[in-house]
Amino acid sequence: MIRVTVWNEYWHEKSEEKIAKVYPKGIHGAIADFLGKNEDITVRTATLDDENCGITDELLENTDVMIWWGHLKHGDVPDEIAIKVKEAVLRGMGIIFLHSAHHSKPFKLLMGTTCNLGWRESDDKERLWILDHNHPIMKGIEGRYFELEAEETYTEPFGIPDPDKLLLIGWYNGGEVFRSGCCYHRENGKIFYFQPGHESYPTFYNENVQKIITNAVRWACPDYRIDKLECPWVARIEEK
């Protein structure tokens, strides 16, 4: 069983009626619903308003893959929680950052860069081009591209380190392009950044988006984890 935790700041859905209509159970609820239909995945959720942001040592120990959605409240996640998440990834936990999580504290800590980008909310159509159909995250995605009727436009330059593997390029009918699916390894952990998922659009009900997130969970699930981060003194292996 792959143990997934979906973390959501869960603010827009509680404070804006328009967004609550799109995601009545919250973005985390929508993601948990489709992931939970898979026999090999168990899901729990955590949100910003939970005690400790819902993130405890116990949760991190028992999470194989974390999914992170945040937007306006990145600053409300305490630094020590963000560091715990980062260190869990370095020890082997997989993590998927969605959409505006590009500015979340854990993502910025793991990237080491600004993660800045250009953005515009103008209901542009997005066409997502698939760069490698053989990658496990693209399994079952047919055709050269797929489209989302409307998404928030994100544009290059995107202030990230070069991805280990770039899987998707998003093109918007306003003219911009963006690196929309980026894979990274950080020590023992695997990271996937996936751009679609603005709160006012029904993106997380899209079949291809659901497939990609589900595939990314299986890809990021660790085969190997370590208990602690250390830099040990070691004895010689061979006799002198």
Binding site for Zn ion (CB under 5 A): 100, 152, 198
Least Cβ distance, residue 175 to Zn ion (angstroms):
19
Give the number of C-alpha atoms closer than 13 A to the C-alpha of residue 179, restricted to the C-beta side. Answer: 20
Of the two residues 5 and 100, which places its CB atom closer to Zn ion in the complex? 100
Which is nearer to Zn ion, 100 or 214 (by Cβ)? 100
CB of 121 to Zn ion, least distance (A): 7
- Nearest approach in angstroms of CB 57 to Zn ion is 31
Using the minimum distance from each CB to Zn ion, give the nearer residue, 92 or 181: 181
Task: Please enumerate in sequence order all residues whose Cβ is within 8 A of that of 142, keeping only pairs 6 or more positions apart, or say none.
Answer: none
CA–CA separation, 148 vs 207, rounded Å?
10
Residue partners of 105: CB distance under 8 A and separation at least 6: 74, 77, 79, 82
Residue 64 or 152 with smaller CB distance to Zn ion? 152
Cβ proximity to Zn ion, 103 vs 186, nearer residue: 103
Rounded to the nearest whole angstrom, what is the least distance from the CB of residue 198 to Zn ion in the complex? Answer: 4
Cα–Cα distance measured from residue 163 to residue 178, given in angstroms and rounded to the nearest whole number: 13
Q: Name the minimum Å distance from CB 76 to Zn ion.
A: 17
